[in-house]
Amino acid sequence: MANVFRKFRVFAKVTESEVVTSFHLKPVDGGPHWQAQPGQYLTLRVPSADGPVFRTYSLSGDVQQDDFHRISVKREAAPEGSNAPDGVASCWLHDQVQEGCVIEIAPPRGAFVLDQESERPVLLLAGGVGLTPLLAIAKVLARSNRRAWFFHACENGDVQALGNELKALDTVSEGRIHSHVVHRMPTERDRAEMRCDSEGLIDKALLQSLLPLDDYEVYLCGPIPFMVAMFRLLHELGIEESRIAYEFFGEATALDRMAAKSAPLPQRASHAPKAIATLVNLTDPDAWAISGSIVAMAQPQGQASDVTDVLFSRSGVSVSQTGQAQTLLELAEEAGLEPEFSCRSGICNTCRSTLIEGRVSYVEDPLETPPEGQVLICCARPEGPVVLDI
């Protein structure tokens, strides 16, 4: 695969809160910056002691009018008890990258984007730094005729980022966008300066008290516990799942299952990018070794079928795919397995697995092609029977 990375210079580094900093980026080659859709993200190639790693950050600026790219990054530390290092990328950006530094960046990606053809009113629900892609969406909505309600939940005003830009949307949109900031633990300064509109959590009573009855399209972004709570809440309010778009680099079926569970939420991936470290889940189930061959799954001679069989040999589980093509990760999840994953879009390589037998194709090209005999199951689909070492 051709090198898709391009060098960008940091021409401004802006502190947005105690934990969030924005980086304004322009291409070194002097050419125009990439066109992006509101809600998409950039992939950075970050140097580390063990070689370059990829990290993804949502665009937080006005992707239609800015002549530069902006990302707003929360400084992350590894969760307590984790074996993962402290924020490889976020700490590098915060602590080492200064104005004038050059960063390697891949073009905007991601399907979590504003449907600009729709005329329905919009509900934006952000938790913490999940504000960033929704702010980019709201900036575009502010120039449309659509009405929107933007709720941002965070700990307090000291860690809240881009609050002034959020509030400015109310005026810029001529009242079509209504913002509401909720602080879980507001400080005395928050109360004195009215940096939040309410205290506590976003709940059913709050939404019902502020939202007119309407047929909303919902865009949701934040940590998994926040998104699961919001997904359940939206379901209680009667909003169809097809109208709920969200960003944590996962598929809708994954959030469906998590919202349906009452058990504790799964832990994050040990190798997950820090930008989405709290937004992914993986645990490898107890498995046993079996001898499996693609031959055992083949159709009897002379019998044609549109069924594709996938064998997860280490787990002793097989699944048949019919109809619309699905990724190997989706098939594994449907079979009750929980293989490691993170970005679900061919970027981070967390899901890389050994392909024992068979052929695959990619529904989305990986950022870097995996080595021979390896496959990124998050964006690969089987082309005939397949055996994976999972």
DSSP label at 374? E
Q: Are 389 and 356 in contact (CB under 8 A)?
A: yes
C-alpha–C-alpha distance, residues 48 and 29, integer Å: 25
C-alpha–C-alpha distance, residues 62 and 64, integer Å: 5
What tokens appear for 31 in the block? 């050419």
Same domain, residue pair 242 and 169: yes
DSSP label at 206? H
Q: What is the pLDDT of residues 320-350, one digit of tens each?
A: 877 565 889 888 888 888 888 877 788 878 8
Q: Are 110 and 136 in contact (CB under 8 A)?
A: no
Across residues 163-181, what is the average pLDDT?
A: 95
**Which range marks the domain in which residue 166 is found?**
122-247
Q: What is the pLDDT of residues 351-364, one digit of tens each?
A: 899 999 999 999 88
pLDDT at 199: 96
Same domain, residue pair 13 and 105: yes
What average pLDDT does the structure give for the chain? 83
Q: What is the pLDDT of residues 30-85, one digit of tens each?
A: 999 999 999 999 999 999 888 888 889 999 999 999 999 999 999 987 666 656 55
Between 251 and 93, the higher pLDDT residue: 93
Residue 301 pLDDT more than 70? no
Of 109, 141, 157, the residue at which a domain comes to its end is 109
- Residues above pLDDT 90, as percent of the chain: 57
| Domain presence at residue 162 | yes
pLDDT at 252: 44
User: What sign results for the dihedral spanned by CA atoms 195, 197, 202, 207?
Assistant: negative
Same domain, residue pair 172 and 234: yes
Q: What is the pLDDT of residues 103-155, one digit of tens each?
A: 999 999 988 999 999 999 999 999 999 999 999 999 999 999 999 999 999 99
Across residues 165-179, what is the average pLDDT?
A: 95
Residue 297 pLDDT more than 90? no
pLDDT at 281: 28
Same domain, residue pair 103 and 138: no
- List residues bridging with 334 in a β-sheet: none
pLDDT at 225: 86
Give the DSSP H/E element, type plus range, for residue 210: helix 204-210
Virtual CA dihedral for 160, 163, 166, 167, nearest 10 degrees?
Answer: 140
Of 56, 79, 109, the residue at which a domain comes to its end is 109
Q: Are 180 and 149 in contact (CB under 8 A)?
A: yes
Across residues 22-32, what is the average pLDDT?
A: 96
Q: Band of the pLDDT at 23, cuts 50, 70, 90? A: very high
- Give the residue among 124, 131, 173 at the shortest CA–CA distance from 149: 124
C-alpha–C-alpha distance, residues 25 and 13, integer Å: 9
| Domain presence at residue 327 | yes
Compute the radius of gyration of the chain from its Cα atoms: 22
Same domain, residue pair 150 and 43: no
Between 342 and 159, the higher pLDDT residue: 159
pLDDT at 32: 93
Q: What is the pLDDT of residues 101-113, one digit of tens each?
A: 999 999 999 889 9
pLDDT at 79: 61
pLDDT at 48: 84
Residue 87 pLDDT more than 60? yes
| Domain presence at residue 224 | yes
CATH number, domain containing residue 11: 2.40.30.10
B/e letters for 9-33, b = 16+ CB within 10 Å, e = fewer, are: ebeebeebbebbbbbbbbbeeeeeb
What tokens appear for 158 in the block? 């000291």
pLDDT at 264: 44
| Domain presence at residue 284 | no
Q: Are 272 and 280 in contact (CB under 8 A)?
A: yes
What tokens appear for 67 in the block? 């002549």
Q: Are 255 and 245 in contact (CB under 8 A)?
A: no
| Domain presence at residue 208 | yes
C-alpha–C-alpha distance, residues 220 and 133, integer Å: 9
pLDDT at 346: 83
Of 247, 269, 303, the residue at which a domain comes to its end is 247
